[in-house]
Each structure stands twice: as C-alpha cells, then as structure tokens.
Chains A and B, each alone.
Chain A
Amino acid sequence: DTGVSQNPRHKITKRGQNVTFRCDPISEHNRLYWYRQTLGQGPEFLTYFQNEAQLEKSRLLSDRFSAERPKGSFSTLEIQRTEQGDSAMYLCASSPTGSTQYFGPGTRLTVL
C-alpha cells in the first residue's frame, strides 16, 4: 500500500498522560499536514511541514502539542498532559505540491 499511513489507529489514554502519533506520508511528497476532527465536524488544520520545516501552526496547537518531521519524511505529533477535550480523530495528509492533499486513515484518540 503506497498511501498515507498512520499509527496507531486507536489510542486510549488517561488524562494527564503523554501520547505520540506517527504519520508516514506518500513517498516523495514533501508537504505534510496535521488536522484534528471532532465528531460531527470537518477536519481542522493544526500544522504544516514542507520537508523538515514547520511552516505554519494553528492557534489550535497549544503549547501541549508539538509536531516534528526531523528528516523530511515521517512526522510525529505529541500531546503532553492530555485532557478530555483532546479526544478526537487526528488526521495526517501529504501532498506533492500542496494543491491536492491525500489523507491517511487517522488516529482515534480517547482520553478518559
């Protein structure tokens, strides 16, 4: 399968714990995006990388959130001190040019 992959697909954690998600983009796509989707809503933009550079961050990305793309390939999204309001589907998308973004299957986070 050559699409965007995300791991884990599901994560259940207790409030206050740290979690980390991984995204592997489509090979040779230099742009990578993170979005968050809550039930009944469309995805909301979190952050964007071009190669290893993080070019834009949403106000949704509080200081408890950090994203990296150290070698310009895969990316990680870490949430520290999770809160119940962090429960959502976290989606990753990649793009060769930015104009068309291809999404992965998402990581469903549940914070108890």
Chain B
Amino acid sequence: GQQLNQSPQSMFIQEGEDVSMNCTSSSIFNTWLWYKQDPGEGPVLLIALYKAGELTSNGRLTAQFGITRKDSFLNISASIPSDVGIYFCAGQTTRENAGGTSYGKLTFGQGTILTVHP
C-alpha cells in the first residue's frame, strides 16, 4: 500500500526560529494536506494543496506540493510557543467519474513532534 515518510520525527527549537518538515511518498497523490494535532484532540487542518508545484501560505505557515506529486513540505516561520504539537502530512488520491471528481481516503505520515522553548 501507499506509505508516507515524514521527517524529522521530532524537533526541539527556540522561540523565533523557523521550522521545516517534509513528507515523501512511494506513490503519487493528487492532494496534499497538513494537519496539527494537540494531545487528546483531533487533527486540525492547516493547509490544503491541490496542484503539483503549488505554494500556499496561511499566516506564518507555508506549504508546497512537490512537482513529482510524491512529496510536500511545510515551513513555519518565527515559531511561537503555541506552535507546539504534532504535525501530520496527509496525501489523497482522486478519481474522475461521471459525477465529477471523487476524493478518497487520506493516508497520513507518522507525524513530526514540535517542541518550542520560550
């Protein structure tokens, strides 16, 4: 089946530093999404990417959909303590049918644990 490799597994940084994490896949995805999860809660959607090469920002977050469609990265600039949490990438395949585009399940990476020291 499809596998996503997310790195690094964990990061310990000082407040104000920039952060970069990435995901690579053995298979092609049509959509890449990035989520943040706090302990005991569900994942919260941060950024969604729909086209190869797409670069999208959401505040201090920037994510890109790799040209090969097998990878994506997420950057966080000027980190703050509330950025602490687990970040997950997720890839999604789509199918075209008579009714339009059908979006399937998400395949998640293993997560990157981010710790920010004040």
Enumerate chain A interface residues (CB-CB to B < 8 A): 4, 6, 31, 33, 35, 40-45, 48, 56, 58, 91, 93, 95, 97-106, 108
Contact of A104 among B42, B105, B109 (CB under 8 A): B42
Most A CB atoms within 10 A — which of B42, B88, B108?
Answer: B42
A56 touches B105 (CB 8 A): yes
A105 touches B105 (CB 8 A): no
> A101 vs B20: C-alpha distance in the bound complex, in angstroms?
23
Contact of A98 among B35, B88, B90, B103 (CB under 8 A): B103
> A6 vs B44: C-alpha distance in the bound complex, in angstroms?
15
> A100 vs B88: C-alpha distance in the bound complex, in angstroms?
14
> A42 vs B31: C-alpha distance in the bound complex, in angstroms?
17
> A48 vs B66: C-alpha distance in the bound complex, in angstroms?
27
Q: Tell me the smallest distance from the CB of B50 to a CB of chain A, in Å.
A: 7
